[in-house]
Amino acid sequence: MSVKGFLKKIYRILQESEYIPKKFIREILHLSVDSKKVLLISHELTFSGAPIVLLNIANILRENGFEVVVISYAGGGLERRFKELGIPVFISSAFKWDKQGLVEIAKTFDFVIANTVVTYESVWYIKDYVKYIWLVHESMNFETDLLKWFNVPYRNCPSISEVLRGIDEIYTVSEYSKKVFDKYVDNVKVIHNGIPDFEEKLEHNRRDGKVVFSFIGAVNERKAPDIFVEAVELLPESYRKRAVFNLVGELKSDFAKNLRKKSHKYVNWFGCIKDKSEINRIYDDTDLLVVVSRDDTAPLVVAEAASRGVPSVISRNVGSTYLIEDGVSGFIIPTGDVEALKDIFIKVIDSPEILDEMRDNVRKKYLETSTLEIFEKNFMHIVSEKLNSAEDVNEK
């Protein structure tokens, strides 16, 4: 693109939108005309799975020579992490509904990455004007919750289900999620998440000879910490004395507070831990991670544990089966089955040595499917295909 053409597009943004922050437009002016530029769109930047994946993507793109800019409908603690990488971040709800302004912005980039299904308005606005990748992280909660909230037209955008049916292709992060979106989109592809390797964190010394079970995640109904707590309560006292039960997660909600009152005698509550060394210590102490969500697309904690050689017990509604094979690299139980989880606790407490081979197996699964290097290779292949595709939408 020529300098004249680039400046012309910036001028059109100024002409078309009075809502997009002018600071953002000034930042675009600092981008190199000759470089490959990518715009990342997020609904929020909290310390949660989907924004963390987007942070990894931003870093991968930056290391591969792309100039990256992030826009988000809402902020969060991860905003600082992006800025530490030298990646500009702009927060504004206008990105969600200012169709013409967003279109003109998107057209100054070589392609766009939209993160989560909640960015559907932005995808709808830009889809005919710029090459894009839409990466969704939702699964059953899309049908149980999001369809109720977003399945009505909004300003210049149709309902979320109509948007999906008008899209040619999306990517999701697990086969479990793919089954949901296959109902709405003809071409749903899977790219498994990748996380940094924690190879040095493989020593598991049981605390005072006790088996350590840990729940790490959001303390809400969907993540099912209540199943974890109830299974602990069902254990005979003789078994509880031979084990340690950790629960790591935010304690602000009424759901979390009530659960803590109920279980404080048997469960060690740590609250939300953001310090890396502290969360590493929890993983290193853990013999079996407990991820028995009622619905969970591909929780990063399962991959983080696997990288350290820590197996998990997951429910059938957790999409991490590419890492966890029942009886081989962990356990899989029916969703919501407290008795089944209790039986796993008893089995492992009675025979903790059954985890020894599982540690090696889950580490192998991680190395085969979920390293950051594998994710980078797969994701950059998708990016290359998009950039080299025949359709030139950027001149519309």
Q: What is the pLDDT of residues 164-185, one digit of tens each?
A: 999 999 999 999 999 999 999 9
Looking at the fold, whether 295 and 176 belong to one and the same domain comes out as no
Tally of structural domains, the chain:
2
In a domain, 283, yes or no: yes
Q: Which domain holds residue 119?
A: 3-194+373-395
* Predicted pLDDT of residue 301: 96
* Predicted pLDDT of residue 131: 96
Looking at the fold, whether 270 and 306 belong to one and the same domain comes out as yes
- Alpha helices by DSSP H, the chain: 3-16, 22-29, 49-63, 79-84, 94-97, 99-106, 120-126, 140-141, 147-150, 160-165, 175-181, 225-234, 237-240, 254-263, 276-285, 300-307, 338-350, 354-369, 372-388
Looking at the fold, whether 154 and 294 belong to one and the same domain comes out as no
Share of the chain above pLDDT 70, in %: 87
* Predicted pLDDT of residue 92: 86
Place of tokens 């295909």: 385
In a domain, 202, yes or no: no
Strand partners for 211: 243
Looking at the fold, whether 269 and 248 belong to one and the same domain comes out as yes
Residue 25 has pLDDT above 70, yes or no: no
| pTM (two decimals) | 0.88
Higher pLDDT, 25 or 389: 389
* Predicted pLDDT of residue 380: 97
Paired sense of beta strands 37-42 and 211-216, if any: unpaired
Looking at the fold, whether 340 and 386 belong to one and the same domain comes out as no
In a domain, 268, yes or no: yes
* Predicted pLDDT of residue 151: 81
Residue 1 has pLDDT above 80, yes or no: no
Q: pLDDT digit string (tens) for 55-100?
A: 999 999 999 999 999 999 999 999 999 999 999 898 888 888 888 8
In a domain, 136, yes or no: yes
Looking at the fold, whether 154 and 136 belong to one and the same domain comes out as yes
Share of the chain above pLDDT 90, in %: 70
- Is residue 319 very low, low, confident or very high in pLDDT (cuts 50, 70, 90)? very high
- Is residue 113 very low, low, confident or very high in pLDDT (cuts 50, 70, 90)? very high
Integer Cα distance of 125 and 325 in angstroms: 41
Looking at the fold, whether 185 and 212 belong to one and the same domain comes out as no
- Is residue 280 very low, low, confident or very high in pLDDT (cuts 50, 70, 90)? confident
* Predicted pLDDT of residue 26: 57
Domain at 267, CATH number: 3.40.50.2000
* Predicted pLDDT of residue 3: 42
Looking at the fold, whether 230 and 363 belong to one and the same domain comes out as yes
* Predicted pLDDT of residue 121: 94
Residue 306 has pLDDT above 80, yes or no: yes
Calculate the alpha carbon distances from 253 to 259, 271, 274 in Å. Answer: 10, 11, 18
Looking at the fold, whether 144 and 24 belong to one and the same domain comes out as yes
Residue 2 has pLDDT above 50, yes or no: no
* Predicted pLDDT of residue 252: 85
Looking at the fold, whether 173 and 214 belong to one and the same domain comes out as no
Q: pLDDT digit string (tens) for 226-275?
A: 999 999 999 999 999 999 999 999 888 899 999 998 887 889 999 887 77
Looking at the fold, whether 184 and 212 belong to one and the same domain comes out as no
Q: What is the mean pLDDT of the chain?
A: 89
In a domain, 199, yes or no: no
Residue 317 has pLDDT above 90, yes or no: yes
* Predicted pLDDT of residue 7: 46
Q: Is 304 left (phi over 0), alpha (psi -120 to 50) or beta?
A: alpha
Place of tokens 């390293």: 371
In a domain, 65, yes or no: yes
Q: pLDDT digit string (tens) for 144-160?
A: 999 888 888 877 789 99
Question: What are residue 61's phi and psi, to 5 degrees?
Answer: -60, -45
Rounded average pLDDT over 24-46? 78
- Start-to-end CA distance of the chain, whole Å, equals 14
- Lowest model confidence (mean pLDDT) among 37-51, 263-277, 286-300, 356-370: 263-277
Strand partners for 135: 115, 171
Paired sense of beta strands 131-136 and 89-91, if any: unpaired
* Predicted pLDDT of residue 4: 44
Looking at the fold, whether 124 and 42 belong to one and the same domain comes out as yes
Structure tokens at 320: 């991490």
